[in-house]
Structure 1
């Protein structure tokens, strides 16, 4: 078997460093002997939650997303922007802040690389069960605009396949949740290794 090329980075230049992401341009050694430039968006990473109640209903939010210029149906989610915080702790916090729920049972469904051709953003999607209500503290104007609804998991999957849910982590999480809830797949433990958790942008803030 031929040895794999290691795509060594020859140089790297920062173009923009913002609050939740950075843009850099890497010059990378290519297999043919030359180099190529790669534009990379560094991200904090994120978590999302498929919260399913005892009746088999999943909680979704309707949230404005400026990049697409419209409101989208999504899972409760948030950034991994607390240094050293386990992802499941961040997921639990976001679930409480966005929809006023907590859960006593947590599992990992999927890790979703948003668009690995240009960004290191990866979202870990959790399955939360045995739900209970908690006080919801609105964190800002965007969360004040959220609409919260519960749908049967079958209806949420139908919305995915109809193109009514397009957020990547929501699509993957809902399809994975149905497989687990129907007994066709097993989730991972809540503390399962997170191989591709983004680290470079968070390291800039230290």
Structure 2
């Protein structure tokens, strides 16, 4: 049964594609019969990792974010590959690739659609425990990442003060604080 609020897609095409995402253009019919168009960002699902060392520090990345023109401090994040059947394994892989750290234990935290009014993005959050720098970073061609460790309370305070503005990092800390600690 279709929900009375559902839009009917009459036609759909990729209007623009680039590494990492596409812009999709849909022709749609609204519930009142109006026909219009709707564009949205389409990207593969991602894993977001809140990684803790054995000492309780958090492993963070500092990365140039060209859209906002600054270095951003946040959590390791990576794309779920088409052959990833195990999201926990994907989280472990992305943690190692971006930070060179491997986790003793990885647990799911939550799954969110961070911007479902304009994108089909899905982010799967994980908490990684007992992380140690035992791997080599394996960055994509377009990644400029510096790995830093921070006291968790210091990172939490930076999130609270607005110094850390990356939405994925902010949501990860808020969810962890609200439901896990």
TM-score, normalized by length of structure 2? 0.88
**Displacement after TM superposition at 1:147 (Å):** 2.0
Decide whether the 8 Å contact of 2:99 with 2:137 is kept in 1: no
SS at match of 1:103: coil
| 1:46-195 equivalent positions in 2, closer than 5 A | 46-140=46-140, 143=143, 145-182=144-181
**Displacement after TM superposition at 1:110 (Å):** 2.3
**Displacement after TM superposition at 1:60 (Å):** 0.8
- 2 CA distance for matches of 1:82 and 1:11? 25
- Consecutive aligned runs of 4 or more in structure 1 exceeding 6 Å deviation: none
TM-score, normalized by length of structure 1? 0.78
Q: Which 10-residue stretch deviates more, 78-87 or 92-101?
A: 78-87
Aligned Cα root-mean-square deviation (Å): 2.0
- 2 CA distance for matches of 1:24 and 1:117? 13
- 2 CA distance for matches of 1:83 and 1:18? 20
Structure 1's 181 and 84: CA in aligned 2 closer, same or farther, altered over 3 A? Answer: closer
Decide whether the 8 Å contact of 2:50 with 2:127 is kept in 1: yes
Q: Which structure 2 residue ranges, 5 or more long, are not aligned? A: none
Deviation string, structure 1 residues 158-181 (Cα, Å, up to 9, x no partner): 111211112111111112223355
Deviation string, structure 1 residues 52-108 (Cα, Å, up to 9, x no partner): 123321111110011111100010111113434422111101111221211132111
Q: Which 10-residue stretch deviates more, 39-48 or 9-18?
A: 9-18
How many residues of Structure 1 are paired with residues of Structure 2 in the alignment? 179
- 1 CA distance for matches of 2:39 and 2:100? 38
**Displacement after TM superposition at 1:38 (Å):** 1.0
Q: Which structure 1 residue ranges, 5 or more long, are not aligned? A: 183-206
1:40 and 2:1 equivalent?
no
